[in-house]
């Protein structure tokens, strides 16, 4: 019996053309956005913040450190859309450039915390025994202190700078990543595929890196999304207290401290707009984390 010829209708029905993949992807994306509208809105807001951070030099109407002496504490107008601060600096330009600082510190802190926390949590859960007990007791000791207190102590010891602020915030996030990773690995390491990999001679490093890690990435990505919001808020808090990114670099937190508190009632826009920027950024990352959890958690997919 002659098989189907290449190019026949039967073969074409089994292998749809590549041109149909993009409409399918677009349709799927729209369906997901309809199911999770808050997640779609948060993703769009995050995309806007990332765009402003990457192209701040081209988007901002003025230099963020340029002073317009005659325009000090000017209310929002056509020339200065969000007004100026007490030194005559354009608030819109400083907020746009502040997004770059917040994202750089947030992504750096979360990335560093993930690298350390995930490694510790995976080794602790996989090896178990006394090693697991010792590591978790150390993590309990670290977690006993509030993250902002730890960050304050580290920055006070090392000195205020972008690198030191990133390290300080990351240190407070390590224990959370460790616990999430440890719980996920404990649930996976007893599965059949781990035993099969061990039976064919795979080493511990290969099992952890190639077999277990891909199956625990979902909770790690979810916790990373929520931690980005926490890291941005922590950076703003440290800058507000004078221990964050040093001046004259524009930071959302530093815009709320110093003279901004003095002129809060005379020029409320100097505090309102940076505060709104912080709130929107933190809310966007938290909503994205919630949406990812709803999509990837099988217990929540029916909601």
Could you tell me the pLDDT band of residue 2, with boundaries at 50, 70 and 90? very low
pLDDT top residue among 171 and 28:
171
pTM (2 d.p.): 0.81
Structure tokens at 186: 């404990």
140 has a pLDDT exceeding 70: yes
Non-local CB neighbours of 19 within 8 Å, separated by 6+ positions:
none
pLDDT of residue 13: 42
Residue 240: C-alpha distances to residues 43, 168, 170, 278 (Å): 27, 15, 18, 12
Mean pLDDT across the chain, nearest whole number?
81
pLDDT tens-digit readout, 87-123: 888 899 999 998 999 899 999 999 999 999 999 999 9
Percent of the chain residues past pLDDT 70, beyond the cut = 85
For residue 174, pLDDT over 70 is answered with yes
pLDDT recorded at residue 25: 44
Q: Is the pLDDT of residue 83 over 90?
A: no
Residue 163 has pLDDT above 80, yes or no: yes
Most confident residue range from 14-23, 38-47, 169-178: 169-178
Instruction: Check if the beta carbon of residue 250 is closer than 8 Å to that of residue 99.
Output: no
Written out in words, the top-level CATH class of the domain with range 38-63+82-296 is mainly alpha
Task: Report the pLDDT value the prediction gives residue 213, as an integer from 0 to 100.
Answer: 85
Structure confidence by residue, pLDDT tens digits, 201-214: 788 788 888 888 88
């Amino acid at each position: 019996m002659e098989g189907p010829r290449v190019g026949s209708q039967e073969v074409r029905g089994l292998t749809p053309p590549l041109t149909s993949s993009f409409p399918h992807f677009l349709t799927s994306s729209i369906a997901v956005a309809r199911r999770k509208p808050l997640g779609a809105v948060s993703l769009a807001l995050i995309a806007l913040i990332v765009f402003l951070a990457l192209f701040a030099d081209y988007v901002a109407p003025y230099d963020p450190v340029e002073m317009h002496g005659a325009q000090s504490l000017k209310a929002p107008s056509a020339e200065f859309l969000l007004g100026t601060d007490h030194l005559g600096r354009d608030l819109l330009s400083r907020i746009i450039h502040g997004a770059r600082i917040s994202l750089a510190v947030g992504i750096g802190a979360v990335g560093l915390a993930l690298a350390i926390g995930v490694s510790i949590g995976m080794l602790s859960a996989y090896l178990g025994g006394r090693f697991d007990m010792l590591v978790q007791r150390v993590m309990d000791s670290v977690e006993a202190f509030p993250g902002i207190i730890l960050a304050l102590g580290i920055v006070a010891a090392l000195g205020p700078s972008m690198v030191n602020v990133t390290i300080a915030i990351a240190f407070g996030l390590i224990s959370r990543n460790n616990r999430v990773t440890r719980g996920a690995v404990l649930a996976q390491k007893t599965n059949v595929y781990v035993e099969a990999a061990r039976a064919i001679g795979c080493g511990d490093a290969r099992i952890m890196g190639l077999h277990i890690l891909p199956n625990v990435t979902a909770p790690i990505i979810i916790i990373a999304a929520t931690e980005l919001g926490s890291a941005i808020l922590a950076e703003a808090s440290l800058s507000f207290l004078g221990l964050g990114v040093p001046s004259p670099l524009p930071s959302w937190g530093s815009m709320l401290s110093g003279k901004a508190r003095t002129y809060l009632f005379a020029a409320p826009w100097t505090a309102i707009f940076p505060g709104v920027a912080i709130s929107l950024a933190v809310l966007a990352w938290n909503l994205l984390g919630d949406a990812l959890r709803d999509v990837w958690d099988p217990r929540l997919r029916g909601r």
